[in-house]
Structure 1
């Protein structure tokens, strides 16, 4: 976290130092990576992987999430915990709720309007749509704070407002209007793409569960998750979420230990006859996109 804080501050210092220049587009790329890496830290904090108690996890999570990158800590935690409880479940996992993208052929058939139009060829739309994911997360963070169930509304709203006042203030002070808009488009667009490319290999293209599926905890977590094999670069780039199966079985396990648990879990799944899927990074995207294209097949017919 100390390294992340220094890099974050250094990124904004570089932005100010570069000033009114087209080189700022490269700074925008770097800042998208930095924002995503901070998002990974917030994710680990949300799972109580870092501190022993809740309070410091919440305090640092609010600083990194709301203040640092403009994502609502409370909203995201609630949403993500629902995903962990029932991954890839049509009725209970908010990550596979039909919206612009649909995740099963039943959802595709029931869709209407824009989702139905997109669903026909959604595999081709997937990455372009991810350029809007950053903005979607920011807007959803604000909207959640106006729900009756929102907790820490005043604190979270204040931190989000401070983040965006400083964010837009710095960008539009240093850059002329046109370049500022382009910086925002590149930064937030790539931020969304990076997050999407990190989370898409984990569950997309894996079985989508319904109320008819009755699975125990282990099978529910393992059969809906996909690991991505790789090396140190892959681990860092994907926030160690490439060990998705182990993460879902042991969400409180500190991320650096997931790679140590991986061979133990894989061996145990083999012993009890549970399918354990691990692929390369490119292959994982291929499987996810193939699934999305297959989902839209009824509409193309």
Structure 2
């Protein structure tokens, strides 16, 4: 079995080579956030107050959607404590940044910081991990879903990126609700509901047509942008017994101007090594990772990663492969035989337990 190391092990090897300022909060990140916030407010006002042609409203919606997503990336950084460290200010700024995506700071820190980062790609403990064949055997819903032909399922999976972040946030509210202290449950619920109340209130103020262009369409666009990153973060990587970011995470590459506007969200392996470090310094972390462990580090262009997601299923087989149970096709994962430039598969052995599940799925 391949030897895994924890994120702390890697961080300890790289830390001596990083400047001390890399471990300090970087409040200057808020300036770009302010630009996005003013852009959102201005765009909503323009759509609501002026009777613009549908083309202009659509263009403004695209800008709003881009800004919604970018604010979400900033909120992610803020709630990791990399922008400000004062707890009440961190949560306030994080709530403002996540307002367009309707996610509260306490829920996000529980779901993302305390659970996903600690148990990344652990099938049982990571709420963002995709299931394995054992889960397929236990779930009628999954077996029904996997009866749908692969190409049709891939199309709907990519279409669902326009709603998936919102849907998953709602699911996480139910998933973690009982894990909060009773005194905090009301706060978590209030933080979740206030954004929705404000956006639904906007509907009654400006009418459906203006609301569609000022919130609903931008939300769909923002979901797609955010989920395009999140989908590539881990879904081509294996499930792992040790939280090893070089095994379970993928960094994608995008143009430098996109990295600037998206707060270096593409540097995902680096983020899992140093979640409490400002993403401003992730390019430096990347240099050291590629120098020290070039054969373990995974990166590829964003579009190539999305294409690989389209061409492979999202069900794990023996932890380190991906399987299409209806056809019995098994694909590698990153570090385990997957070549994104030439995606190939092998067949499940008919006599195995997985082969029997495959036969049941196909009925």
Mark yes or no: TM-score above 0.5.
Answer: yes
Return 5+ residue gaps in structure 2 as ranges.
Answer: 1-29, 316-321, 329-363
Of Structure 1 and Structure 2, which has the larger fraction of its residues in helix? 1
TM-score normalised by length of structure 2: 0.68
Indicate whether 1:96 and 2:124 are aligned.
no
Distance 2:305 2:215 in 1: 29
Q: CA deviation at 1:86?
A: 2.0
Spell out the pairing of 1:64-83 with structure 2 (5 A cutoff): 64-65=97-98, 67-81=99-113, 82-83=115-116
- Tell me if structure 1 keeps the 8 A contact 2:39–2:67: yes
- Tell me if structure 2 keeps the 8 A contact 1:38–1:64: yes
Q: CA deviation at 1:50?
A: 0.6
- Tell me if structure 1 keeps the 8 A contact 2:101–2:219: no
Distance 1:19 1:169 in 2: 20
- Tell me if structure 1 keeps the 8 A contact 2:65–2:222: yes
Indicate whether 1:14 and 2:41 are aligned.
no
- Tell me if structure 2 keeps the 8 A contact 1:72–1:141: no
SS of corresponding position for 1:228: strand
Indicate whether 1:56 and 2:89 are aligned.
yes
SS of corresponding position for 1:223: helix
Which residue of structure 1 lines up, in the alignment, with residue 324 of structure 2?
Answer: 297
Which residue of structure 2 lines up, in the alignment, with residue 123 of structure 1?
Answer: 154
SS of corresponding position for 2:238: coil
Distance 1:182 1:237 in 2: 22
Which residue of structure 1 lines up, in the alignment, with residue 119 of structure 2?
Answer: 86
Indicate whether 1:288 and 2:309 are aligned.
yes
RMSD over equivalenced CA pairs, Å:
2.9
Distance 1:124 1:280 in 2: 21
Indicate whether 1:207 and 2:238 are aligned.
yes
Return 5+ residue gaps in structure 1 as ranges.
Answer: 99-103
Which residue of structure 2 lines up, in the alignment, with residue 35 of structure 1?
Answer: 68
Distance 1:130 1:260 in 2: 31
Q: CA deviation at 1:40?
A: 0.7
Deviates more, 1:223-232 or 1:12-21: 12-21
Q: How many residues are treated as equivalent by the alignment?
A: 283
Which residue of structure 1 lines up, in the alignment, with residue 37 of structure 2?
Answer: 5
SS of corresponding position for 1:279: strand
Q: CA deviation at 1:251?
A: 0.7
Q: CA deviation at 1:128?
A: 1.3
Whose radius of gyration is greater, 1 or 2? 2
**Where in structure 1 do 4 or more consecutive aligned residues deviate above 6 Å?**
none
Distance 1:139 1:182 in 2: 23
- Tell me if structure 2 keeps the 8 A contact 1:145–1:153: no
Distance change in 2, residues 1:97/1:288 (3 Å): closer
Cα deviation, 1:69-110, whole Å, max 9, x if unaligned, reads: 421221122111211112111111110154xxxxx4444444
Distance change in 2, residues 1:142/1:91 (3 Å): closer
Distance change in 2, residues 1:20/1:140 (3 Å): farther
Deviates more, 1:122-131 or 1:148-157: 148-157
Distance change in 2, residues 1:124/1:133 (3 Å): same
